[in-house]
Amino acid sequence: MNIALQREIDKLKRQILALSAEVESDVRAAVRSEENRDPALARSVIEREAQINAMEVDVEEECLKMLALYQPVAGDLRYIIAVLKINQDLERIGDLAVHIAERGLFLCDLPRVEIPHRLGAMADKVQAMLKKVLDAFVNLNEAAAREVCAGDIEIDEIHREIFQQVKDAVIRDPTTFESVLQILHVSRHLERIGDHATNIAEDLIYLIEGRIVRHTPEVSDKGQAK
Amino acid sequence: MSDPVQISVRNLSVYYGKQHVLRGITLDIPSRHVLGIIGPAGSGKTAFLRTLNRLNDLNPDSRMEGKILMGETEITHSDCDVVSLRKRVGMVFALPVPLPLSIYDNLAYGPRLSGIRKRFQLDEIVERSLKAAVLWEEVKDRLQTSAFRLSGGQQQRLCLARVLAMEPEVVLLDEPCSGLDPISTARIEEALMTLKATHTIVLVTNNTKQAARVADTTAFFLMGELIEVGPTSRLFVAPTDSRTNEYISGRFG
């Protein structure tokens, strides 16, 4: 019975890793489509949403089946619960990638506005954070998970900065409103991806340590940024 | 834990001949509490249980070090009155052993031996014990039939009732459901859940899921050592020792 459960866990691991790879590449493509004003790439991200959703449902069904059939305990139980939660965060990140791609599409039809913003740097940081947390998940690396939690603060700061820049730009020239609003949206979506990556990191710490660190000041100070 | 401690085990070691079967066990069992003991074969679970009512004394090869206190009594002391200890600490074994008597007499046997003769008193004890063991409803109309006519699950509950008839403070159970079907197992577990309101229960089980269902605290034994003990709800979600994790997730044992 235990061998059967182990086999199911291995299968679940492959499923969730496939989903995370898919989501990671979607975020990358969405950011690139927005930066390069590439409508084809943006559309491809939007089209893949259905596939991500289907993968999320499969992972959830697999977890529920394992809980019902094997009543796992201890490490196995924590693994399945962590996967259930990480699965949801990944699906939400997939949605946010789609939102970014949609903003990118919208921007293609608008005149280019140049405001000094750090959206590119923010996108790089968020993608690095996502990659790091997914690698930490593969290797069950608790130290890396904690670094991800700490890194979220920086993302929140950049988002606040961009908000200010957008506000200034609209005051300076109200005709840029529509374009710079898209930039603010993208920034907001990236900031949310950072939050989901942090959630994944917290679930990882629970998986490894068996301790719920969410809402405790020791891991992160997230939630302060708006 | 605010419950008063019923049994306090301090640095207990047990040897069977040259074999060191329990190694320095230190453990508190609160009163009115179910302690589940899990561990693979040969881990010392049963040896531990048998020290709690001095059944190991029956093995001339066995030797004991350390101390066990039950309330004020040091039960490991050579002066301890073993007969009265075994009245305070009843035991149910893996295989039901009904006496070749009627259901009624199986239960009245112990109380009669200890001097209770009045019929109404015995009636009361029989009914109370059978109710406590969740067997009364099934046998109340045939108390005079032979105990051997009962099913295995019923016989095991009869043995539990027989122990309860002596009004022990502590009930020890050594894999009481190992030969029972799931429904009979559920009945025994139901009885234990009710009994813990009035008794301290120590349950040795090979079925980790049973410990998870029934025990308030679970102790994991391995090769004569107490590896980990803690609230069942914690031990089965996040055990601190990797060996506990491996055992309860069925990776060995």
Report the pLDDT value the prediction gives residue A220, as an integer from 0 to 100.
46
Closest CB to B248 among A1, A74, A211: A74
Tell me which chain B residue has its CA closest to the CA of residue A206.
B238
CATH number at residue A151: 1.20.58.220
pLDDT in tens, A38-82: 999 999 999 999 999 999 999 999 999 999 988 899 999 999 999
Q: What is the mean pLDDT of the segment spanning A157-181?
A: 90
Under the phi-then-psi rule, with left for phi > 0, alpha for psi from -120 to 50, and beta for the rest, what region is A89? alpha
CB pair distance less than 8 Å for A73 and B248: yes
Number of structural domains in chain A: 1
What is the nearest CA distance from A87 to chain B, expressed in angstroms? 20
**Å from A126 to nearest chain B CA?**
31
Q: What is the pLDDT of residue B3?
A: 62
Question: What is the pLDDT averaged over residues A163-184?
Answer: 89
CB-nearest to A2 from B237, B244, B249 is B249
User: Structural domain boundaries of chain B?
Assistant: 5-102+169-248
pLDDT of the residue at B5: 79
- Model pLDDT, residue B177: 93
Q: CATH topology for B5-102+169-248?
A: Rossmann fold (3.40.50)
Chains A, B: CB pairs < 8 Å: 34
Q: In the prediction, which pLDDT does A219 show?
A: 57
Q: Is residue A193 part of a domain?
A: yes
User: What residues in chain B have per-residue pLDDT under 70?
Assistant: 1-3, 253
For B14, residues 6+ apart whose C-beta sits below 8 A from its C-beta are B20, B21, B22, B44, B47, B48, B51, B56, B62, B63, B64, B65
B244 touches chain A (CB under 8 A): yes
Distance in Å, alpha carbon of A212 to nearest chain B alpha carbon: 11
Q: State the nearest Cα–Cα gap between A161 and chain B, in angstroms.
A: 42
In chain B, which residues have their Cβ closer than 8 Å to the Cβ of A5? 249-250
- B211 touching A (Cβ < 8 Å): no
Whether B238 has its CB under 8 Å from any CB of chain A: the answer is yes
Residue A226 pLDDT more than 60? no
pLDDT, tens digit, 9 for 90 and up, residues A91-123: 999 999 999 999 988 888 887 777 666 788 899
pLDDT in tens, A130-163: 999 999 999 999 999 999 999 999 999 999 999 9
pLDDT score of B78: 86
**What domain range is A128 assigned to?**
2-209
**Among the partner residues A1, A5, A210, nearest to B237 by beta-carbon distance:** A210
In a domain, A224, yes or no: no
Question: Which of B74, B85, B63, B66 has its CA nearest to residue B169?
Answer: B85
Contacts of A66 in chain B (CB under 8 A): none
Assign 3-class secondary structure to chain A: CHHHHHHHHHHHHHHHHHHHHHHHHHHHHHHHHHHHCCHHHHHHHHHHHHHHHHHHHHHHHHHHHHHHHHCCCHHHHHHHHHHHHHHHHHHHHHHHHHHHHHHHHHHHCCCCCCCCCCHHHHHHHHHHHHHHHHHHHHHCCHHHHHHHHHHHHHHHHHHHHHHHHHHHHHHHCHHHHHHHHHHHHHHHHHHHHHHHHHHHHHHHHHHHHCCCCCCCCCCCCCCCCC
How far apart are the CA of B249 and the nearest CA of chain A, in angstroms?
Answer: 6
Chain B residues lying within 8 Å of A78, measured CB to CB: 237-238
Cβ separation A1–B237 shorter than 8 A: no
Reported pTM: 0.81
Per residue in B184-227, pLDDT (tens digit) is 999 999 999 999 999 999 999 999 999 999 999 999 999 999 99
B43: contact with A, CB 8 A cutoff: no
CB distance B209–A75 less than 8 Å? no
**A215 within some domain:** no
